[in-house]
Structure 1
Amino acid sequence: MNWITNYVRPKLNSMLGRREMPENLWIKDPSTGEMVFHKDLESNQWVIPASGHHMRIPAKDRLRFFFDEGKYETLESPKVATDPLKFRDEKKYIDRLKDYRSRTQQDDCIINATGTIEGLPIVATVQDFAFMGGSLGMAAGEAIIKAAETALAKKRPLVLFSASGGARMQEGILSLMQMPRTTVAVEMLKEAGLPYIVVLTNPTFGGVTASYAMLGDIQIAEPGTMIGFAGARVIEQTIREKLPEGFQSAEYLLDHGMIDMVVSRLEMKETVARILKIMMKQPASEAKAELAETAARAASV
């Protein structure tokens, strides 16, 4: 035991009225190196005010900022078999799950919620990268299917925020089976004439990109989002060619027609609400009537 650090210093600090500074009081902007006050960043939806760099935002914070007045109701997560393959790498899969559940206070990486955006009732699904890299397993697949079924039952649009490294290797083929299952759920929405909007957030890769994350009626991405199936290094080693700079970024994919829009998180709610109202043929406000008319003319060309 270090008695100077653990005993003497706290006594001196208490006598002199000193308080320990929280370690996360300031956060460094990865793009510019600027130090940003944590509270300012949090109130700005984890978007750096000066540079516009989009930091990763906790799933529950995203829902709070997205829904009207921050009010929403979460859907109960479906129950699935835990560790069906009895998988073990450096540690048991079941122990890994317990660890992430303790850290995030979530059952798995998917959170489903219902609420309104600008008065329009919707179902929203958020994939949380903080839970095992947002990897797609049986629990996530069942949760996405439940979100689609809820949207069908309530006749509401579904808005999905993707963030994932791909399929969950600890569940093997059972994880890969979620790709066609979630694809079928999306097709059920489309057959019912309900909008399905996907917001791609950083990063979105692997089997998630190869299934429900690229099947939206409208594909939106946050600035700087990296999107792809395999990583750049793997692709370069496979085809033995140098790839274009930033070829998996949202901006590059927008230029090459893979996605429809790149929208700041600060404008996401307004943009999604406007698109949904047009798709559901609901009246727009006077301030947005001209924009809706322009969109309608463009769609008819």
Structure 2
Amino acid sequence: MAIRNLLSLNKKKQKGVIVDRNKESSFPADLMTKCPECKKIYLTKELENNLKVCPHCDYHNKMTAWERVSIFIDEGTFESFDGNLRTSNPLKFPSYLEKVEIDALKTGLNEAVLTGIGNVKGEQVVVAIMDSHFRMGSMGSVVGEKITRAIEKATELKLPFIIFTASGGARMQEGVISLMQMAKTSVALKRHSDLGLLFISVMTHPTTGGVSASFASLGDLNISEPQALIGFAGRRVIEQTVREKLPDDFQTAEFLLAHGQLDAIFHRKEMRDKIATLVKMHSKGGVSHV
């Protein structure tokens, strides 16, 4: 009985020292990462070296905006825009600014999108990269303003504009002000298009709500990573509205490609090369506006 009691306490004597196995592990919390899809566990470093794509099931894990820059933009060429813009609280939403500040410290971003200019295999482009680690990539006034300014900069310099979307949609804490960004960004893209300039939209997991219903779907080329969730309303909302069971793959990138709503699905490992080729094909694009 005494031995059982000792075992139940999960302690063991080793050379006169009692080791408590219940004590918190000294391993770093981020040493290992579990794949959300297949549940396999990997060294985080191993996953990062594989561009955060699961080696077992090919699941594309979410990336931060800065991680995306590091794998997409030529090293040493990226220059960010509008890092000084800050969100206000027009509706006096409780604790809103405090939560924004926490995400800013966590991500190193001023808002849920990183914008700037850089080269992709030698071709200069203007990019906007949304980050779902910042308020789930939701679109408020600053996100819309940064994207609009980036589009306008691309138009001014007659450069291609590329956006990587990852968003839960319009930000509820800013109400109709967030919804206005759908129109504002779309108007800027129309002016960009009127000059014959290229816009490539790359939808990553997830791209939903007001973002999917505006600039994310307006690309000259609409591209996605594999298995990305792309849609406007949630699956359950749609099923309750239409009173029908939706296909299992509904709102996946593969479903959208099969139904003509995407032009291509590119694996993360080939995304940079494929987009660089597309940009080169259009590098002489842009016509004088009459």
Q: TM-score range by the shorter chain?
A: 0.7 to 0.9
RMSD of Structure 2 on Structure 1 (CA): 1.8
SS in 1 for 2:166: strand
In 1, the alpha carbon distance for the partners of 2:91 and 2:164 equals 29
User: Are 2:32 and 1:26 aligned?
Assistant: yes
In 1, the alpha carbon distance for the partners of 2:250 and 2:87 equals 38
Amino acid at match of 1:67: I
Contact 2:83/2:109 (8 A) holds in 1 = no
Q: Structure 1 residues 98 and 12, CA, compared in 2 at 3 Å: closer, same or farther?
A: farther
Equivalent residue number for residue 210 of structure 2: 207
In 2, the alpha carbon distance for the partners of 1:237 and 1:135 equals 25
The count of aligned residue pairs is 264
Structure 1 residues 261-270 or 43-52, which shifts more? 43-52
Structure 1 residue 30 displacement after superposition: 2.5
User: Are 2:79 and 1:76 aligned?
Assistant: no
In 2, the alpha carbon distance for the partners of 1:79 and 1:62 equals 21
In structure 1, list runs of 5 or more residues that go unmatched: 1-10, 14-18, 283-301
Structure 1 residue 71 displacement after superposition: 3.9
SS in 1 for 2:281: helix
Structure 1 residue 255 displacement after superposition: 0.6
Equivalent residue number for residue 120 of structure 1: 123
| Greater Rg over alpha carbons, structure | 2
Equivalent residue number for residue 252 of structure 1: 255
Per-residue Cα deviation, 1:144-173 (whole angstroms, up to 9, x for no partner): 011011112222101000010110001011
Equivalent residue number for residue 12 of structure 2: none
Q: Structure 1 residues 12 and 213, CA, compared in 2 at 3 Å: closer, same or farther?
A: farther
In 2, the alpha carbon distance for the partners of 1:272 and 1:97 equals 32
Equivalent residue number for residue 44 of structure 1: 50
Contact 2:86/2:110 (8 A) holds in 1 = no
Equivalent residue number for residue 281 of structure 2: 278
In 1, the alpha carbon distance for the partners of 2:244 and 2:166 equals 28
In 2, the alpha carbon distance for the partners of 1:56 and 1:81 equals 24
TM-score, length basis structure 1? 0.83
1:61 paired residue among 47, 67, 82: 67
Contact 2:128/2:164 (8 A) holds in 1 = yes
Amino acid at match of 1:65: I
Contact 1:223/1:264 (8 A) holds in 2 = yes
Per-residue Cα deviation, 1:86-113 (whole angstroms, up to 9, x for no partner): 122xxx2122222222222211101012
Amino acid at match of 1:40: E
Q: Structure 1 residues 78 and 191, CA, compared in 2 at 3 Å: closer, same or farther?
A: farther
Contact 1:179/1:207 (8 A) holds in 2 = yes
Structure 1 residue 200 displacement after superposition: 0.1
Structure 1 residue 279 displacement after superposition: 2.2
Structure 1 residue 69 displacement after superposition: 2.7
TM-score, length basis structure 2? 0.87
SS in 2 for 1:101: helix
**Same amino acid, percent of matched pairs:** 41
User: Are 2:246 and 1:240 aligned?
Assistant: no
Contact 1:78/1:143 (8 A) holds in 2 = no
Contact 1:64/1:70 (8 A) holds in 2 = no
Structure 1 residue 76 displacement after superposition: 2.1
In 1, the alpha carbon distance for the partners of 2:245 and 2:170 equals 27
In 1, the alpha carbon distance for the partners of 2:43 and 2:70 equals 21
Contact 1:80/1:138 (8 A) holds in 2 = no
Amino acid at match of 1:38: T
User: Are 2:149 and 1:146 aligned?
Assistant: yes
Amino acid at match of 2:182: M
Amino acid at match of 1:266: K
Amino acid at match of 1:97: V
In structure 2, list runs of 5 or more residues that go unmatched: 1-16, 20-24, 286-290
1:227 paired residue among 226, 230, 247: 230
Q: Structure 1 residues 41 and 70, CA, compared in 2 at 3 Å: closer, same or farther?
A: farther
